[in-house]
Chain A
């Protein structure tokens, strides 16, 4: 706050410091977008994502929220695709197209929440461990290493097994097991940022820990966090599908992984009912791929040396 009192008085007709900062931020976003647009795969992924999000958000209007009701299912069990049910029906006679659209909500929601949790923990530990050196950093990095040697999927499965079956558990299991990568990346970046002269200047002007971390380090690691988030979402969606397929998801909730598990239990593999199995898998793969494409494009824009997707 001391910075504000020492600011020179704003002359009329000239933009103030805040307006300047805002303008600079807008310019850098525009520059980012110009670069991003040049990665065709990234734009394609982004368009696909917008489409998926729209489908998921409008699901209550298009298919209705009673699509997963077992008691008043509209069709007969395991019907093949027809005009009325374009993707056939499941073993309860529910429309598979409706379930597919409805399931996208859970897959996206869990993927986003788990990634948010994972990145939040990772960024928090990464920035603080990079900023406060000494015993705190040592302890935090040891904990990070501890989680890093655990096989992520196995740990998530075990967590989901011992805790109660719910969406919250799945989010927790994925979020708690995937953060160490982010923590390491963010810490490395924080160390690099903090060695620059302007941090010393900020300290000399009386900037506290919070000020330096939130005003100087965070904006600089934000791009990295953004790229990391998109990549983690894609693996979180795959992890959610995996856990649901193994029967560890909330049995009351329709998700793509859960649909695949239902399909397997209904014997659609041995009877060759491909129309039950194929669509949910395509959904999972398409969403995961879209997020991966976006993440790689963001990464390539921010770090051209990586030479990905060119």
Chain B
């Protein structure tokens, strides 16, 4: 588990992690299956940790949770009792906890206070939309970041490199919701010479069937995806760049050049595969983070996904829904970290042997 999470903090901490793990050096006996089992067990422990956190986090609310839920509206004593029983608040704390765990494991995350529907239903309804948005954005920003990062490192110090890093750092500092709002003003509402090119929000205009429907969704997808790509590609670029820069001085590159390989081949066949390692971990960690970062973009573009749902739940606040979504977001991050860990030994044979 410690190495799984060490990745999250990126390259520097990982160096430290490796340094502190080096003297142990007893991994020689265990093969890949054992490594996988260890990582999966770590993921399960993490998921349980999330479950515990989400249970106790929502017990932090000062005062009576039922009063908080009813938002200070006058509620009769019978209604209060019904609420208490419905949320199991009349039971002792540990019973509430075991109840909560058992229910969560059987796929019951409670009833949304706002929609009067099971939380699980609301989540499964919104999940495909979020996956569509984040998936598209993820593929694009990873490709863009890796491509620009490679070029930047190969010609480091040059004008192209400086422009690339500068732009990436600037976009990385921009709040995503602000960028989204600006894009809506310029490209959806339209500033005088430019007419509104894209819809202001939502996922579909309705009516269309078949291929027209696909086009319509794609049309709605453009602005949210552009926003996500703009704020997220910078990190991939910077990590790819610094990973490649680390390899730049290596002797094997000099050898490859001395063999007479063209510059392009030296880069593609020799330098990039070695620099891929830190990038791949970051890519997965990023994907987990994007799921959380999508909250703002979906809110701004009224995209009917998990993030938009989270915002709706927050403004009530609809605690069972917030709690359920918190679990889903955290689970997404854990899932991605675990995937990165499982992929790691395939890229670097030194890991997990």
Do residues B189 and A270 form an inter-chain contact, with CB atoms below 8 A?
Answer: yes
Do residues A247 and B315 form an inter-chain contact, with CB atoms below 8 A?
Answer: yes
Shortest CB-to-CB span from A151 to chain B, Å, is 4
Task: Tell me the bound Cα distance from A163 to B191 in angstroms.
Answer: 41
Q: Does A67 contact B (CB under 8 A)?
A: no
Q: Does B178 contact A (CB under 8 A)?
A: yes
Name the contact of A284 in the complex, choosing from B17, B175, B315 (C-beta under 8 A): B175
Task: Tell me the bound Cα distance from A275 to B245 in angstroms.
Answer: 42
Contacts of A119 in B (CB 8 A): none
Closest to B17 in A: A188
Closest to A148 in B: B5
A interface majority secondary structure: helix
Q: Does B1 contact A (CB under 8 A)?
A: yes
Stretch of A82-90, A97-105, A178-186 lying at the B interface? A178-186
Do residues A150 and B185 form an inter-chain contact, with CB atoms below 8 A?
Answer: no
Do residues B173 and A288 form an inter-chain contact, with CB atoms below 8 A?
Answer: yes
Do residues B330 and A277 form an inter-chain contact, with CB atoms below 8 A?
Answer: no
Q: Which of B20-71 contact A (CB under 8 A)?
A: 20, 46, 49-50, 53, 57-58, 60-62
Contacts of B50 in A (CB 8 A): 149-150
Q: Which of A264-284 contact B (CB under 8 A)?
A: 264, 269-272, 274, 277-278, 280-281, 284
Closest to B186 in A: A274
Contacts of A260 in B (CB 8 A): 175, 177-178, 181
How many A-B pairs with Cβ below 8 Å?
173
Do residues A188 and B178 form an inter-chain contact, with CB atoms below 8 A?
Answer: no
Task: Tell me the bound Cα distance from A12 to B189 in angstroms.
Answer: 79
* Chain B proximity mask over A284-296: 1 for CB below 8 Å, otherwise 0: 1110110011001
Known contacts A162-B58, A246-B299, A269-B189: A149-B173 contact under CB 8 Å: no
Q: Does A208 contact B (CB under 8 A)?
A: no
Do residues B326 and A285 form an inter-chain contact, with CB atoms below 8 A?
Answer: no
Contacts of B46 in A (CB 8 A): 145, 149
Contacts of B337 in A (CB 8 A): 149
Tally B residues with Cβ within 8 Å of A.
70
Tally A residues with Cβ within 8 Å of B.
64
Do residues A151 and B292 form an inter-chain contact, with CB atoms below 8 A?
Answer: yes
Name the contact of B292 in the complex, choosing from A154, A246, A278, A281 (C-beta under 8 A): A154
Task: Tell me the bound Cα distance from A228 to B267 in angstroms.
Answer: 32
Stretch of B7-15, B83-91, B130-138, B213-221 lying at the A interface? B7-15
Do residues B13 and A184 form an inter-chain contact, with CB atoms below 8 A?
Answer: yes
Shortest CB-to-CB span from B200 to chain A, Å, is 7
Q: Provide a sorted-by-A list of 14 A–B residue pairs whose CB atoms are within 8 angstroms.
A: A149-B49, A150-B333, A153-B295, A185-B9, A185-B13, A269-B181, A274-B182, A281-B174, A281-B179, A281-B182, A285-B175, A289-B169, A293-B169, A306-B242
B residues at A contact (CB < 8 Å) = 1-2, 5-6, 8-10, 12-13, 15-17, 19-20, 46, 49-50, 53, 57-58, 60-62, 156-157, 165-166, 169-170, 172-175, 177-179, 181-182, 184-185, 189-191, 200, 238, 242, 245-246, 288-289, 291-293, 295-296, 299, 310-311, 314-315, 317, 322, 325-326, 329-330, 332-334, 337
Given contacts A281-B181, A293-B169, 12 further A-B contacts (CB under 8 A): A144-B5, A149-B330, A150-B330, A150-B333, A151-B291, A191-B20, A269-B185, A269-B200, A277-B181, A281-B175, A284-B173, A308-B242
A residues at B contact (CB < 8 Å) = 41, 141, 144-146, 148-155, 157-159, 161-164, 180-181, 184-185, 187-189, 191-192, 234, 238, 241-242, 245-248, 257, 260, 263-264, 269-272, 274, 277-278, 280-281, 284-286, 288-289, 292-293, 296, 305-310
